[in-house]
Structure 1
């Protein structure tokens, strides 16, 4: 009986960890300055100002005033939204 309980606990724990693992990429289409990116990986990308973003992914995108995602955030583009702002880089969550 004890082995069955331990086995059930380990199976439940493994399932929980599998569901909690973070995704490495956004799902969907991100269009930045007219360039489409399908399922863009999480990270920081360079951009030329002004930046136009059409976010058709499942995650938020932040536009930063400086390169390497430094400086103030000039736009927070939620899933399903678009924005046009100045900036030198953007971060995909």
Structure 2
């Protein structure tokens, strides 16, 4: 009986892990202040202000007024768009 319960528990845990969504990278090239990043991972990145973003990926890039993607959202740069704005960090969605 204990083996059966353990097997069911293991099977349930495996199912939960299989359904977990891994962090995805944006597909394409993101150019921030002239530096190209190929398939940048989702997450927050530091930068200096003012910042120029050329978004050639399939994900939106949000620029924030403070480090660590805190403060005011200064600009959202949609896929295929470019923008120059003030900001000290950006988030690849």
Same fold per superposition (TM over 0.5):
yes
When the two structures are aligned, how many residues end up with a matched partner?
Answer: 77
Structure 2 unaligned segments of length 5 or more: list them.
1-14
Moved over 3 A (4+): 20-23
Aligned-residue CA RMSD (Å)? 1.7
Structure 1 unaligned segments of length 5 or more: list them.
1-13
TM-score normalised according to structure 2 size: 0.76
**Higher strand content, 1 or 2:** 2
TM-score normalised according to structure 1 size: 0.76
Tell me the CA shift for residue 32 of structure 1.
0.1
CA distance, structure 1, for counterparts of residue 22 and residue 64 of structure 2: 24
Tell me the CA shift for residue 24 of structure 1.
1.5
